[in-house]
Structure 1
Amino acid sequence: MSFLLGLTGSIGMGKSTTAKLFAEMGCAVWDADAAVHRLYAPGGAAVAPMQAAFPDAIVDGAVSRDALRGVIQADPSALKEIEQIVHPLVGQDREQFKAETDADILVFDVPLMFETGGNAAMDAVACVSVSADIQQERVLARGTMSLEQFEQIRAKQMPNDEKCERSDFVIVTDTLDHARQQVQAVVEQIRAGLNDA
């Protein structure tokens, strides 16, 4: 039986980098955002149902995230319908990953783990964390969003302190070496428990 570890954290906290560190330690990583990209790509499972519900969101045979944002801005209630189409497909993708993967630790990289109640299906949850100043600096350094957009996203996410309190492990991502040491400690602790079981 594999150990199911949820990996969460707010925008700019270093979750993608931390997921790679878990992969380096021999864990299998499932990424919720990557799953959505697969579903939205040409031939992806979400394309046909999205085309039926929101034909304007399809560009070149794929679901366009930009076009979807336009749909949601025009009609905020569309978000619920989009989620009803996409969430079950993401769930199927996750189950397929679990069925096809034989690693001892499966890491589920889900930004809104607590917000969506996904933590209930995990054996433990690790939250990545860093100071609010570093978080803001990292996000703005990407050059993909304004301070206002960043603050809107952060306002929709559960406060970092609360995520950390609800998690079994907190990984501080102030430096890569520090994060790597903590990931190694988490993996060793989980593997020790698996060996004792």
Structure 2
Amino acid sequence: MIILGLTGSIAMGKSTVSRLFAQMKRPVFDADKVVHQLQAPNGRLLSAIGQAFPGVIDEKGVNRQKLGAQLLQKPEGFRRLEAIIHPAVVEELHLFLRKNRSHPLVIVDIPLLFEAGFTRSVDYIAVVSAPYWIQKRRAVSRPNMTESRFRGLLARQWPDRKKRQQADFIIENGRNIIALAAQVRQITGCLVGQGSR
């Protein structure tokens, strides 16, 4: 089994690339989805997050807007939050890998692959990248996203340039879905039949 780590900065189109891999019947571990499940009603991280960040839990689980507001006021809280979330994500990742060990290629979609030290868990790394103006346009068009918040999120991530330098594959996402799908097929073809490093 080859484990391809998929990452990219905010609004680069990583989720679209992830869906393209899934459409090719490649198992995809979606760290964002896992985190949402862990923070949903009855999610196993609710208690710990609620204790660390009072007032952010409601009937829908973790209220991400309230949590985000607290983190904007006290950015040091990110470390506390990551200390709660990352071990649970690692646990879920190990379960996913065990479940899918018979597949020749699995995709591990983790936005903070580099920043959170997940590179040791993958064989290869694909970085989704796009020109900054496209990234910014995509980001600020999202609900509840402002330019200020976008800049704050970018500041917490490795620069795109640095990610590209560490990548085995760079997926350029500045054109159209056809070009994007072609790159996904090319990477899949390159890796399937190869052994893990």
Verify same fold: TM over 0.5: yes
Secondary structure at the residue paired with 1:48? helix
CA change 1:73–1:5 in 2 (3 A) is: same
> Where in structure 2 are the equivalents of 1:83-94 lying within 5 Å?
83-94=82-93
Q: How does 1:1-197 map to 2 (within 5 A)?
A: 2-60=1-59, 62-101=61-100, 102-173=102-173, 174-194=175-195
| Alignment partners' CA distance in 1, 2:82 and 2:34 | 14
Number of equivalences: 195
Larger % of helix: which?
Answer: 1
SS in 2 for 1:94: helix
Note if contact 2:104-2:193 (Cα within 8 Å) is conserved in structure 1. no
How far residue 12 of structure 1 moved from its aligned partner, in angstroms, is 1.3
| Stretch deviating more after TM superposition (122-131 or 63-72) | 63-72
Report the 3-state secondary structure (helix = DSSP H, G, I; strand = E; otherwise coil) of the residue aligned with 2:153: helix
What is the TM-score normalised by the length of structure 2?
0.90
Greater mean deviation of Cα atoms: 99-108 or 6-15: 99-108
Q: 1:76 to 1:11 in 2, by over 3 A?
A: closer
* Same amino acid, percent of matched pairs: 33
TM-score, with normalisation over the residues of structure 1? 0.90
**C-alpha contact (below 8 Å) 2:7/2:109 kept by paired residues:** yes
- Unpaired runs of 5+ in structure 1? none
CA contact (8 A) 1:4 1:124 kept: yes
- Give the whole-Å Cα distance in 1 for the aligned partners of 2:166 and 2:84: 29
Q: Residues of 2 paired with 1:190 and 1:107: CA distance?
A: 11
- The alignment's C-alpha RMSD in Å is 2.0
